[in-house]
A and B are shown apart, each in its own frame.
Chain A
Amino acid sequence: MVDTTKNTLMYTTWGTKTAKPVNPNVAAKLISKAKKPLLVAGAEIVDNEQLAQRAIAIGKKGVQIAATGHAITVFHGKGVNAKYINIHALAHYLGDKNWKGLDGQGSYDMIVFLGHKKYYLDQVLSGFKNFSDLKTIAIERHFMQNATLSFGNLRPDVHIEALDEFIENL
């Protein structure tokens, strides 16, 4: 079992409320319990085969995917439910209770993030943290302090191991 809660070192603080470090199995269980989870997969997966495989595997478990940047190129023909959307627009729509979601079937109650630039995602998460009730889980290689729950800072190989454990428990 990978411990992803050890290193939660931050470069700067945002405020008084920071993410709770979470282990892969716990994160997976929370997502499994959610009514309508959404994986937001960022463009960092495009040139990272290891991450791309894990993002596809999460999609294959039935989690809908919002592909931001040009991450959608990874999901074509892979049999997952993925749609392109700009991440800043997505953040805006997710905060709107009237938004019907990517599939027109209603919005989401648990948002999972993988494959994003640290500084960019923490900004997006800061919007969620302060202006919405959404629960967010970052399964990134870095500790995302503005998420509700986040993996700690991990070495790339440990991160992949953690993702595998996360997928197993979905």
Chain B
Amino acid sequence: MSKISTGHFSIEDLENVQITIGKIVGAIEEKVAEEIDMGPTPKPSVSALRDWDHQLLTRYQPVYTPQCDQCCYCTFGKCDLGGNKEGACGINLAAHQSREFLLRVITGAAAHSGHGRHLLHYLIERHGRDHPLDVGPSNLLAPNVQMVTGIKPKTLGDLEAAIEYVEEQLTQLLATVHMGQEGAAIDFESKAMHGGMLDHVGMEISDLAQMSCMGMPKSDPEAPLAEIGMGCIDATKPMLLVIGHNVAGVANMIDYMHENDLSDKIELGGLCCTAIDMIRYQMDKGGQPYAKVVGTLAKELKMIRSGIPDVIVVDEQCVRADVLDEAKRLSIPVITCNEKIMYGLRNRSKDKADNIIEDLVSGKEAGALILDLDLLGEVAPRLVMKVAPLRKEKGIKALPSDEELTALAGKCVHCGACELVCPNNLPIMDAMKACVEGDLTKFESLHDHCVACGRCDQACPKDIPVLDVIEKASQKAISQEKGLIRSGRGQISDPEIRQEGVNLVMGTTPGIIALVGCSNYPEGTKDLYKLAEEMLKRNYIMLTSGCSAMDLGMYKDEDGKTLYERYPAKFLGGNLINVGSCVSNSHITGTAIKVAAIFAQRNITGNYEEIADYIMNRIGAVGVAWGAYSQKAGSIATGCNRLGIPVVVGPHGSKYRRALIGKPYEEEHWKLYDARNGEDLPIPASPEFLLTTVETVEELMPMLAKNCIRPSDNNMGRMIKLTHYIELSQKYLGQMPDDWHRFVRTETDLPLAKREELLKILEKDHGWEIDWKRKKILSGPRMKSDVSAQPTNLKRLCKGEC
């Protein structure tokens, strides 16, 4: 008997055939229901949301800061586009910069979606297409997928159509990067936004699939805490180090270790998002992760060069290209298990485990490519148990001795080559001088600022292994790097949205700050902690993920407690929520979409523009990628931007080549329609950017408070937000902000404790008319306070327009 679940078929010459009609009637009803609530743009094409993008880009204009003034894309070139000249194909520098930005975005989106495709394929093979999606107590399972594609997935198989859409669109976008063709920067920008939107769909697919099949916490505020930091690694045990973003292979290792009683015999540590996801693995029913998180990409080279790992397994994405070379020097076998990284290694996927282990233990081969993840699950733990004693026996020497350290520092001729190539231009020469005199404190201070790229090693004319010197000199600091991170809890659930949605839209919870992205910080990791602590104390909801989630767990207060121990993880003001790994960033945009769907009862299905419009005008959320360096971070930010969520990046983010910044002094750009009657509705200049860089964390904090202000704030909400903006500006910039009065609509918007003082300033400095008897503002504000107003960018949503 064969089953045909969907599709058309014809049967000729029918004889002795039994036909059972199962769900046809139900399927039709389902299809009809889907069509009724389908919005205008299911699976939008490259141009479908172009009008929305152009509207955003009129207010938030691209600011280009080229990394290179030339174009070397084709054999017409190299073309010098300096001064915005045109190249041989006719493209000018502005359009080329936007094309470059598009390329970054689709590279990032492809990384996440490729990851999603791999996981989906692998998990469908294991669990079947009908395996149900299970993300916790929510009916709205896939907000990004549903909003963008119109698909309401219920099973793993349902996600396939969504990922196919993403893949097809990414191909279309990549095609536009070809020489010539598009000449308008604004349309490359629109395409970049399309790519960013696709990224959030791809990420959501990845995380939904793994959460549903791998026992990860599901909207669980009590998700367990795990150890984090180089200092928490037990170097006396055989150490298996995993690096990357795709947990599928590691999950098999964990299973094998558990089944073979090796879990407490092997020290399993991870770097980057594979580490984040391995502490989520099988944690949905309680339990305590025994795997440890070493840290971010900034710890990658330092961890390898410590010589502690006995075997390294890499999968994909944020993995250094030289892991094999570095590991080889220290006799550490490397296994690659994903087609994205193969390092030229022999494919051993069909070999026997014993043979692979023998070749790697003997040193006959430096590593192996194993694409069969079941085989990998067995080989890696067995290999580490064999290699560790041999490495110990050989006395593999990694970092320099104390004497060698002083001698190496003494070789330095203070030429400054290392400082010039250092991404942060760190004062390495001073630290070398101090080191010679026995003072290691300068290197200890450098250690936290150093992103361990290793460029200093390459530049030194005296062949000093500068990074090794930094690491050796900082051993005391490294040994103290011990913290706790809450395992990623996944989505914000529907009931949580019901509870908190009103506070977000009215502004009484002052905002959501999402700390995401990588570890290329301008002034070390502590800034992130400082920022989170300040905003948590002020009742902002802090969402975090990936590398930022890791670094937040690295610091403790006077009582020895990390932020994760001090602040609960519910979706409420003053809570700190680690949603999970890189791909869990989709839950942050998903949260905003859920507020529109659940709190405001908007139809999200295939209805991107309306939902983005809602989010932009009503949800005070700002993303912060303080140490962003990857293409993925650029892509995530751009996906937020199209949805109306502004993002701040640290100073290194200027190297993304473009920002989107508004001009508050151009009043014509700061008005919307009131959907009740279609009339103009002046709004405050907030968010005043969609993507910008900020120089220091002190500058960042008041800026975040200001950019959480939204037109929908009620008086209480505006008063709370304004209070934080003024207080943070006074605390970190030592002054009242210059523009605070622009956000005042009525006297009840003013901070209660300072109302009289501020009214005086409004009268004296800004010429506003005040009725002092009633302490009321009579004239002055550009905006009215009207909580019933329905702010929208979209004329078609106004009464009488449809």
Residues of A participating in the B interface, judged by any CB pair closer than 8 Å? 9, 11, 13-17, 42-43, 46, 68-70, 72-73, 76, 83-84, 86-89, 91-93, 95-96, 98-100, 117-120, 123-124, 126-127, 129-131, 142, 153
Contact = CB atoms under 8 A, between A and B. Distances in A.
B663 A93 contact: yes
Nearest to B425: A118
Interface in B674-720: 688-689, 692-696, 698-699, 703
A16 B79 CA distance: 10
Interface residues of B, number: 47
A91 B63 contact: yes
A140 to B, nearest CB: 11
8 contacts: A17-B82, A68-B699, A69-B698, A88-B694, A92-B63, A100-B665, A123-B654, A130-B81
B738 A14 contact: no
B423 A119 contact: yes
A16 B694 CA distance: 28
A15 B694 CA distance: 25
Contact of B696 (A69, A100, A124, A126): A69
Contacts of A17: 69, 82-83
Nearest to A154: B416
B735 A88 contact: no
B735 A76 contact: yes
B752 interface: no
Nearest to B415: A9
A120 B651 CA distance: 6
B93 interface: yes
A72 B702 CA distance: 14
Contact of A126 (B66, B416, B421, B735): B66
A61 B63 CA distance: 32
B733 A16 contact: no
B443 interface: no
A131 B83 CA distance: 6
B68 A124 contact: no
B65 A126 contact: yes
B109 interface: no
Contacts of B743: none
B602 interface: no
Main secondary structure of the interface of B (DSSP, over half): mixed
Contacts of A87: 693, 695
A108 B421 CA distance: 33
Contacts of B659: 88, 92
**Nearest 5 CB-CB pairings of A with B:** A15-B69, A69-B695, A70-B698, A123-B654, A120-B651
Contact of B734 (A43, A73, A124): A73
Nearest to A91: B63
Contacts of B425: 117-119, 142
B655 A15 contact: no
A120 B693 contact: yes
A96 B696 CA distance: 25
Contact of A68 (B61, B421, B695): B695
Given A92-B661, A100-B665, A130-B84, A43 B695 contact: yes
Given A17-B83, A126-B66, A126-B67, A84 B651 contact: no
B420 interface: yes
Interface string B39-75: 0000000000000000000000101111111100000
Contact of A88 (B66, B67, B693): B693
B732 interface: yes
A66 to B, nearest CB: 12
B482 interface: no
Contacts, number: 138
A142 B419 CA distance: 10
Nearest to A127: B65
Contacts of A14: 66-69
Indicate the member of B68, B654, B655, B666 with the most A CB atoms within 10 Å: B654
A84 B661 contact: no
A131 B82 CA distance: 9
B522 interface: yes
Contacts of B63: 88, 91-92, 95, 127
Given A99-B665, A120-B693, 20 more contacts: A17-B83, A68-B699, A70-B696, A70-B698, A70-B733, A73-B698, A86-B692, A87-B693, A88-B661, A88-B692, A93-B663, A96-B663, A117-B424, A117-B651, A119-B651, A120-B654, A123-B67, A129-B82, A130-B64, A142-B420
A117 to B, nearest CB: 6
Contacts of A13: 68
Given A14-B68, A70-B696, A153 B420 contact: yes
B421 A70 contact: no
B421 A43 contact: no
A16 to B, nearest CB: 5
Interface in B374-419: 416
B514 interface: no
Contact of B421 (A11, A42, A69, A123): A11
A12 to B, nearest CB: 8
B94 interface: yes
Contacts of A127: 63-66
B167 interface: no
A124 B64 CA distance: 9
B57 to A, nearest CB: 13
B157 to A, nearest CB: 45
A87 B332 CA distance: 46
B373 to A, nearest CB: 40
B80 interface: yes
Contacts of A153: 416, 420
Contacts of B655: 119, 123
Contacts of A88: 63, 654, 659, 661, 692-694
Contact of A70 (B80, B651, B732): B732
Indicate the member of A42, A73, A120 with the most B CB atoms within 10 Å: A120
B652 interface: yes
A123 B83 CA distance: 14
A53 to B, nearest CB: 18
Contacts of A117: 424-425, 522, 651, 695
B738 A43 contact: no
A89 B692 CA distance: 8
B60 to A, nearest CB: 10
B699 A16 contact: no
A25 to B, nearest CB: 25
Nearest to B698: A70
Given A69-B695, A70-B698, A86 B64 contact: no
B694 A86 contact: yes
Contacts of A70: 695-696, 698-699, 732-733
A122 to B, nearest CB: 9
B735 A123 contact: no
Nearest to A10: B420
Contact of A92 (B61, B694, B738): B61
Contacts of B64: 127, 130-131
B423 A72 contact: no
A9 B420 contact: yes
A135 to B, nearest CB: 14
Contacts of B420: 9, 11, 142, 153
Nearest to B661: A92
A72 B729 CA distance: 11
Nearest to A98: B666
A129 B94 CA distance: 12
Indicate the member of B93, B94, B416 with the most A CB atoms within 10 Å: B416
Contact of A84 (B61, B421, B694, B733): B733
